[in-house]
């Protein structure tokens, strides 16, 4: 079920890991799943009316709204001014805003910098002005995790199929394809991120927000 387009678009933050950032930048990822927070599973989401109510409660917004991406980052000094350095791909954006020096900043960044000197800041602490990726929500629904299709698993960033004597798939950043289906690869990816969270592992089959998006080019 597709939620109606928001009449007044809003912006909200969303966190992604470095492998997922790279998949978004490469155009391989256009969908994400986020587990319902405790207490959200209070409706019969198999019922169309309750599904619509659930979409109204989604903390990530509605189709037409924007998501600005938080990722691991650092402030860096290079070419005579402060800029922002991104851990996912070591991209450097100069002069996004005047930075204040502090203990969490690396002293300088240029082609000669020692990368182990960079003092990264967790994605949760990225402010809006430092974000380089903005996504627009194109569709949203609620479903149980194990209902994911092969097509959706590919939209989540799973790569393939590859011919290795048989059809095989791989998760982002994996060295080789090792899964017989995109869904099997996604299951492994999901548990690597959420497997230790109570009630959130693949075997728990939690209810999730399914968020489709497109990248908004600056």
Model confidence over 165-206: pLDDT tens digits? 999 999 998 888 999 999 999 999 999 999 999 999 999 999
Q: Say yes or no to pLDDT of 40 above 60.
A: no
* CA 86 – CA 163 distance, rounded (Å): 33
pTM of the model: 0.84
pLDDT of amino acid 1: 46
pLDDT in tens, 117-139: 778 899 999 999 999 999 999 99
* CA 58 – CA 56 distance, rounded (Å): 6
pLDDT in tens, 201-214: 999 999 999 999 99
Please choose, from the candidates 69, 68, 67, 63, the residue with its C-alpha nearest in 3D space to the C-alpha of residue 8. Answer: 63
Place of tokens 């391989």: 28
Q: Which domains does the chain have, with CATH numbers?
A: 11-69+133-216 (2.30.130.30), 73-123 (no CATH)
Sign of CA dihedral 162, 168, 171, 176: negative
pLDDT of amino acid 46: 61
């Amino acid at each position: 079920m597709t939620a109606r387009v928001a009449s007044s678009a809003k912006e909200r933050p969303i966190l992604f890991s470095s492998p997922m950032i790279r998949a978004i930048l490469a155009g391989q990822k256009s969908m994400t799943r986020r587990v319902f927070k405790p207490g959200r599973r209070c409706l019969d989401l198999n019922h169309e009316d309750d599904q619509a109510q659930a979409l109204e409660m989604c903390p990530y917004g509605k189709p037409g709204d924007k998501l600005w991406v938080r990722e691991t980052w650092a402030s860096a000094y290079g070419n005579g001014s402060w800029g922002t350095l991104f851990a996912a791909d070591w991209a450097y954006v100069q002069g996004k805003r005047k930075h204040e020096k502090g203990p969490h900043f690396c002293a300088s960044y240029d082609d000669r910098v020692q990368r182990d000197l960079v003092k990264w800041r967790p994605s949760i602490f990225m402010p809006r002005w430092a974000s380089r990726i903005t996504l627009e929500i194109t569709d949203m629904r609620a479903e149980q995790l194990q209902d994911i299709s092969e097509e959706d698993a590919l939209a989540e960033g799973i790569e393939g199929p590859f011919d290795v004597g048989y059809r095989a798939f791989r998760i982002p950043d994996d060295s080789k394809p090792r899964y017989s289906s995109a869904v099997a690869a996604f299951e492994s990816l999901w548990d690597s991120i959420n497997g230790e969270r109570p009630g959130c592992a693949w075997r728990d089959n939690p209810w999730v927000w399914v968020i489709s998006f497109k990248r908004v080019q600056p």
